[in-house]
Amino acid sequence: MSEEKHTHDCDCGCEMEEMETMTLTLDDDTELECGIIGVFDVDSKDYIALLPLEDETVLIYEYKENEDGEVELGLIEDDALFEKVTDAFYELWGEEEEDEEE
């Protein structure tokens, strides 16, 4: 993970000048640099929200750190669970955005 300028032009409510980033390696071996929006808990499991630096689409994955401190991301394959996690993400970051507007 590294720090990058937060340069995308979005409506995500973020006002961060710099954000921590991580590089995802996709199935076709291309790399995608993403800003880390945050890690959050749903039903005692951790999830991470990422924002590709060249896009405005939030990516959400299951998040685990192994004993060596390496990060492991997992796909959320169950539709109902994905909806629940997505709702939790918008609830967390939506409240933050509303607080900033007041």
Q: What is the pLDDT of residue 43?
A: 94
pLDDT digits (tens, 9 = 90+) for 56-90: 899 999 999 999 988 899 999 999 999 999 999 99
CA–CA distance, 36 with 59 (Å, rounded to integer): 10
Token pair of 93 as six digits: 């970051």
Cβ atoms of residues 59 and 47 within 8 Å: no
Reported pTM: 0.73
Q: What is the pLDDT of residue 79?
A: 96
Q: What is the pLDDT of residue 11?
A: 52
Per-domain boundaries in the chain: 2-101
pLDDT digits (tens, 9 = 90+) for 4-22: 334 444 455 554 457 799 9
Print burial letters for 53-65: b (CB count within 10 Å at least 16), e (below 16). Answer: beeeebebbbbee
Q: What is the mean pLDDT of residues 38-57?
A: 94
